[in-house]
Amino acid sequence: MAEIEFREAIRDALAEELERDERVVVFGEDVAAAGGVFVTTPGLFEKFGPERVFDTPISELALAGAAFGSAVCGLRPVIEIMFGDFLPLVMDSLVNQASKYFYISNEQASVPLVVRSAVGAGGRFGAIHSQSPVTWFQAVPGLKLVAPSTPSDAKALLKGAIRDDNPVLFLEHKRLYSLKEEVIGHGSEVIGLGSAAVRREGSDVTLVSVMKGVHDCLAAAELLASDGIDAEVIDLRTLRPLDRGAIAESLSKTNRLAAVEEGPRTGGWAGEVLAVAAEESLDDVDDLWRITTPEHPIPYSPTLEDAFLPGAEAIAASVRARLGVAAGRS
């Protein structure tokens, strides 16, 4: 089995889709000659040339407008917004144009564009370069949101996003770029958007998350196992569309669910997960709750940033408290 790094999975997905479909183009700030600030696009410029992979001026607004225009005219653009914190600059193109064009064209024209962006805290980037801006876009019909947690899923979901006829926001957690995973075969799988994955089977409580939060939940599940608590871990993979069936199916086994979000409680996607859980499985639910970050900007101080994030210890402690179990019970 070959081992692949998360950033390599992103690059390979882009290379394979550029090879497969001549309509695919990749552009953004430093994605061509430099290979990307997070080293996710090296070699693409050299292989596919400046008409398929090219650098742009430092203008996220211009990037998004060019992506929308080229998608409407028949291309399948993939653009990179270097940090997710800069996504407000593309709001108009994504929210008021790309996501609504299929509807206002009377379903005559699709907008197959992908916006890739690095998100997430824990890397000491400070308050303006560490956010996970999922909920800024959560309430936009017509826009899909993807948030992978593993290299193999990153590759398969990115390929699925590029082939999707809808605009897609593809979020890559900065602290996962160096994550490695063994991939069986040549890793050419394509995952359609909207299906969750069970990362760990369990019977006592369901932990739901995305991106790095999935790994924190898995680590928390191991801690809880030593206390006699059997946690199931669900990786949503996409936040819009949301896999309601996977949430309901897990709750039918555990009757308890905690949504773990790297983001503030107010207006977060975790609240949507709890709403879905209540709507789908209200008669089977003993407890639903959220584990989120505090309601303030992300600290730069390493000590404060670590305490700010809902890591494995905090998740396990929250589950113990809700279940009334003391640590080290077993």
Q: Are 243 and 157 in contact (CB under 8 A)?
A: no
Which of the following is catalytic: 129, 173, 186, 296? 129
Q: Is the dihedral of CA 159, 161, 165, 169 positive or negative?
A: negative
Q: Are 36 and 14 in contact (CB under 8 A)?
A: no
Run of H or E residues at 318: helix 312-323
DSSP state of 92: I
Residue at token pair 């144009």? 97
Helix (H, G, I), strand (E, B) or coil at 59: coil
Instruction: Quickly list DSSP for 234-255.
Output: EE--EEES--HHHHHHHHHHHS
| Separation of alpha carbons 207 and 291, rounded Å | 10
| Separation of alpha carbons 315 and 322, rounded Å | 11
Q: Are 77 and 130 in contact (CB under 8 A)?
A: no
Active site residue 215: no
Q: Is the dihedral of CA 129, 134, 140, 146 positive or negative?
A: positive
Q: Is 214 exposed, middle or buried (0-12, 13-18, 19+ CB in 10 A)?
A: buried
| Separation of alpha carbons 217 and 231, rounded Å | 9
Residues marked as catalytic: 129
